[in-house]
Structure 1
Amino acid sequence: MDTHSRKILLALGCAAIVIVGCQRDEPAVTAEPQVQVPAPETRTAWVDAERLLNADADPQNWLAHGRTWSEQRYSPLDQINAANVGELGLAWYFDLDTSRGQQASPIVVDGMMYTTSAWSKVQALDARTGQLLWQYDPEVPKAWDAKTCCGVQNRGAAVWKGRVFVGTIDGRLIAIDAETGEVQWSVQTTDRSDNYSITGAPRVVNDLVIIGNGGAEYNVRGYVTAYNTETGEQVWRFWAVPGNPEEGFENEAMEMAAETWTGEWWKFG
């Protein structure tokens, strides 16, 4: 090897030593772990105040009795109109297990339909196919038929924050898990020894489920009661008419109202 070649090799060797000497020990760089972003939570039958206040922007759903809190029963959808209504055909049907009267207005929330039938039964159906997802039977005693003026029909349920609420012929108010059909709580809203009944649909406002009753044909005094939607605890009760003056009044308002009535009003209100 000539002198020129030795000089080149010596220079390269020194350069390698300098480079190695300049290197610093640093921790190995590793990729940051992937952060798992959870998928948006899907909550069954989630109806709340905000959603009901904006129901007109959500016309494919029927979120409450009468569709909205205004209960106009009007749908802004326009796919069906005077020009094509004659082309409608059967999409699906569902057989109810009774021939008694049916008067319920179904509630539809995100593809699920919640409705009631005679004897206060509740059904959850796939609104697209009509498939029964669950059914709840409160097993109302058949003798209760005699305590109703107009039959054992039920006019519908209410849906609020994952629960379905129904009033029963024998005076109960029941909260049902909208996904499973399991009872979450049940309260007796009436005196079972009297001739009270419930056929009307509950209403829900700001976590209060409100229910009235029937029976004026049989000398009962009507009232409206609000219950906590989560616990079933009674929050307030408003009587439709004052009570018997001889038994006292629930509050000053009832005492004042009594002055505007005549006869034995407490037997017919």
Structure 2
Amino acid sequence: MRLNRKLHVMLAGTLALALPLAACTMVGADELGTDNAGQVVDAQSIIAADGANWLSYGRTYDEQRHSPLNQITAENVGQLGLAWSADMDTARGQEATPLVIDGKIYLTTAWSKAKAYDALTGKVLWEFDPKVPGETAVKACCDVVNRGMAAWGDKLYFGTLDGRLIALDRNTGKQVWSTVTVDQSKPYTITGAPRAMGGLIVIGNGGAEMGVRGYVTAYDAETGKQVWRFYTVPDMPG
């Protein structure tokens, strides 16, 4: 379906809440954060995120997805229109919550691909394809979707369907490091968004319905080195 292939910026619920774009003539470039280029994301900035930025999967650590923006009201909502749209390269599911940092939109798409857009113009700034093997799809319960990224420092982090955790340079989209977080011979997948805190990137996995043992792992945000792992259930014979 074509609707699945469109990122409708003004109509996509998360983005519309996070970022009323310039077509609404309500938020200027300075309010989008473009004056703060190079913002370093840390715990304090996530906790105190202003309305023009969406720095974590649920916006802040309590993940209420509440936006403090107040430019859209009952009186002017009828004036909203489409600012721009972008085609995805697949008709597979799109379930990511985009991040918005310094006037740029960062999101993941089906097959664990990552993209960056200029929030005002819709121009593609960079794209990254981790080249997930097609046969990995048979391990996924619910399509080859990806639900989003984490941001920390000047990097972005996301999981891939085949179980990798990847760090990208936020400005260039170039890979900084990648680590395999699962036994790829087993039916593990990653579709969820990681979380960033205290210099750590925390990621879980899927596949319990196929018999694998689930766990949550923390990795050093700078190096990708594993710091700790917590198993959600006892090992066999539990």
Regarding TM over 0.5, the answer is: yes
Look up the match of 1:145: 137
User: Which residue of structure 1 lines up, in the alignment, with residue 41 of structure 2?
Assistant: 47
Matched, 1:114 2:109: no
Residue identity in the other structure for 2:84: W
User: Is 1:107–1:157's contact at 8 Å kept on the other side of the alignment?
Assistant: yes
Q: What are the equivalent positions in structure 2 for 1:68-217 lying under 5 Å apart?
A: 68-217=60-209
CA distance in 1 between partners of 2:159 and 2:123 (Å): 24
Q: Tell me the residue number matched to 2:58.
A: 66
**Matches of residues 11-22 of structure 1 in structure 2 within 5 Å?**
none
CA distance in 2, matches of 1:45, 1:244: 46
- Alignment: residue pair count: 204
Q: Percent identity?
A: 56
Deviation per CA, 1:137-176, whole angstroms, max 9, x where unpaired?
A: 0000000010000100000111111101010000000000
Larger radius of gyration: 1
Q: So what's the TM-score if we normalise by structure 2? A: 0.83
CA, structure 1 residues 182+45, in 2 after alignment: closer, same or farther (shift >3 Å)? farther
Counterparts of 2:138 and 2:65, CA distance in 1: 32
The alignment's C-alpha RMSD in Å is 1.3
Gaps of 5+ in 1: 1-40, 246-257, 259-269
Runs of 5+ in structure 2 lacking a partner?
A: 1-34
Distance 1:48-1:170 versus aligned 2 partners, 3 A rule: same
TM-score, normalisation: structure 1: 0.74
Partner SS for 1:135:
strand
Q: Could you report, residue by residue, the CA deviation over 1:225-263 in whole angstroms, capped at 9, with x for unpaired residues?
A: 000000000000000101014xxxxxxxxxxxx5xxxxx
Letter in 1 for 2:209: E
- Answer whether contact 1:43 1:162 (CA < 8 A) is retained: no
- The structural deviation recorded for 1:43 is 5.5
**Greater displacement, 189-198 / 74-83:** 74-83
Which protein is richer in helix relative to its size?
1
Q: Is the 8 A contact 1:45 1:163 kept in 2?
A: no
Q: Which of structures 1 and 2 has the larger relative contact order (alpha carbons within 8 angstroms, sep 6+)? A: 2
* Runs of 4+ that moved beyond 4 A: none
Deviation at 1:45, TM superposition (A): 5.0
2-side partners of 1:192 and 1:50: how far apart? 36
Give yes or no for contact 1:223–1:240 (8 Å, CA) kept in 2. yes
| Paired residues of 1:104 and 1:155 also in contact (CA < 8 A) | yes
